[in-house]
């Protein structure tokens, strides 16, 4: 589950996230062991897509802190409802992590 964060966003590669269930198959609280790439100095509120093992966008996450170490992750339509990703992005093929 946690591997979906860096699979969706290059800035999260190497951050070794772990996630806890808030609502099974809907919402997860994720913590990074290392800060994100330094391109953004304040990550609070930043949103990023997440990608599953088949390389399709399966949801998204929102940074909860300025340092970007805490994220709330939503799957499927919950990510759309949270305005993290658009409905048209959900399920799209994403062969490499996004940049920028």
- Coil, helix or strand for 62? strand
Backbone angles phi, psi at 4, to 5 degrees: -70, -25
3-class DSSP state of 51: strand
Q: Is residue 12 part of a domain?
A: yes
| Separation of alpha carbons 80 and 61, rounded Å | 11
Residue 97 domain flag: no
Q: Is residue 41 part of a domain?
A: yes
Query: Quick check: is 37 in a domain?
Result: yes
Asked, for residue 91, whether it belongs to a domain, the answer is no
Which range marks the domain in which residue 23 is found?
Answer: 4-81
Q: What angle do CA 76, 94, 20 make, to 5 degrees?
A: 45
Domains: count for the chain = 1
pTM, 2 dp: 0.89
For 49-72, write each residue's pLDDT tens digit. Answer: 999 999 999 999 999 999 999 999
Distance CA 61, CA 30 (A): 9
pLDDT value for 100: 63
As given in the structure block, the two tokens for residue 57 are: 């966008």
The rounded distance, in Å, linking the Cα atoms of 44 and 64 is: 5
Structure tokens at 50: 């997440």
Residues of the chain with pLDDT under 50: none
Continuous segment of H or E residues that includes residue 5? helix 4-8
94 within domain boundaries: no
Has residue 59 been placed in a domain? yes
């Amino acid at each position: 589950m946690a591997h979906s964060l860096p699979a969706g966003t290059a800035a999260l590669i190497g951050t070794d996230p772990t996630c806890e269930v808030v609502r099974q198959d809907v919402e997860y609280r994720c913590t990074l062991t290392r800060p994100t790439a330094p391109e953004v100095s304040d990550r609070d509120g930043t949103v990023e897509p997440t990608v599953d093992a088949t390389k399709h966008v399966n949801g998204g996450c929102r940074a909860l802190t300025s340092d970007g170490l805490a994220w709330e992750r939503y799957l499927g339509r919950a990510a759309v409802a949270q305005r993290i990703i658009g409905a048209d992005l959900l399920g799209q093929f994403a062969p490499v992590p996004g940049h920028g």
